[in-house]
């Protein structure tokens, strides 16, 4: 990948949701009483994940669909940049709240869920609001499993990375190369 791509892609990303979510997460962890630290950090993970999902919306997807630099490079670059920002904000919130590191697995899975949901949606539908699809799996999983923090979340990370990778594939799937 060409390093020159980072600057325009970074500028193309819709940072507004993360710009709102990151300060909220950090301020929340800082200001809220310690007894709520765990809950705030978990909520921060979900909010930041849903905000990061907005980075996958590409207004120029059609025009750049047939360039030699493939779609997955662009989408993964967006993914990484947004994940870095969301991850940094989460780590800061986590430090300020002073809660156990066990929560990291869950935060990573929330991020991957959001990226998978939004990645799948932007593949099929145009428009900015499509990224809301990232929050759907986060909320659905959160609703079902809120009561159980733990290391088990890491198990879900591997398959979810695969789902994200599938969503980031080229618009036109290929057969495996023949030898």
Positions that interact with other proteins (CB under 8 A): 2, 4-5, 8-9, 11-12, 16-17, 20-21, 24, 32, 36, 39-40, 43, 46-47, 50-51, 54, 59-70, 74, 126-129, 131-132, 135-136, 139-140, 142-144, 146-147, 171-178
- For CA atoms 107, 109, 114, 115, the dihedral sign is positive
SS3 state at 136: helix
Q: How far is the CB of 164 from other proteins (least distance, A)?
A: 20
Nearer to other proteins among residue 91 and residue 102 (C-beta)? 102
Nearer to other proteins among residue 69 and residue 91 (C-beta)? 69
d(CA 110, CA 139): 9
d(CA 150, CA 162): 22
d(CA 89, CA 45): 9
Q: How far is the CB of 143 from other proteins (least distance, A)?
A: 6
Q: How far is the CB of 153 from other proteins (least distance, A)?
A: 16
Tokens encoding 121: 């949606």
Tokens encoding 179: 């030898």
Nearer to other proteins among residue 126 and residue 159 (C-beta)? 126
96, 30 contact by CB (below 8 A): yes
d(CA 109, CA 163): 12
Nearer to other proteins among residue 88 and residue 129 (C-beta)? 129
Q: How far is the CB of 40 from other proteins (least distance, A)?
A: 7
Q: How far is the CB of 100 from other proteins (least distance, A)?
A: 11
Residues 6+ apart with CB under 8 A from 84: none
Q: How far is the CB of 115 from other proteins (least distance, A)?
A: 15
Nearer to other proteins among residue 3 and residue 158 (C-beta)? 3
Nearer to other proteins among residue 158 and residue 175 (C-beta)? 175
Helix axes 71-97, 16-31, angle to 10 degrees: 20
């Amino acid at each position: 990948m060409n390093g020159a791509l980072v600057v325009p892609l970074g500028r193309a990303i819709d940072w507004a949701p993360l710009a709102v979510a990151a300060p909220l997460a950090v301020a929340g962890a800082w200001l809220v009483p310690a007894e709520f630290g765990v809950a705030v950090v978990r909520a921060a993970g979900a909010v930041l994940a849903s905000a990061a999902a907005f980075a996958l919306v590409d207004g120029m997807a059609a025009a750049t669909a047939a360039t030699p630099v493939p779609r997955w490079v662009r989408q993964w670059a967006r993914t990484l940049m947004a994940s870095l920002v969301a991850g940094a904000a989460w780590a800061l919130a986590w430090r300020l709240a002073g809660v156990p590191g066990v929560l990291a697995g869950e935060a990573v899975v929330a991020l991957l869920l959001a990226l998978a949901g939004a990645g799948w949606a932007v593949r099929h539908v145009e428009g900015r609001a499509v990224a809301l699809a990232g929050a759907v799996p986060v909320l659905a999983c959160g609703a079902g499993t809120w009561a159980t923090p733990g290391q088990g979340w890491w198990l879900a990370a591997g398959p979810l990375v695969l789902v994200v990778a599938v969503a980031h594939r080229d618009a036109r799937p290929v057969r495996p190369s023949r030898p």
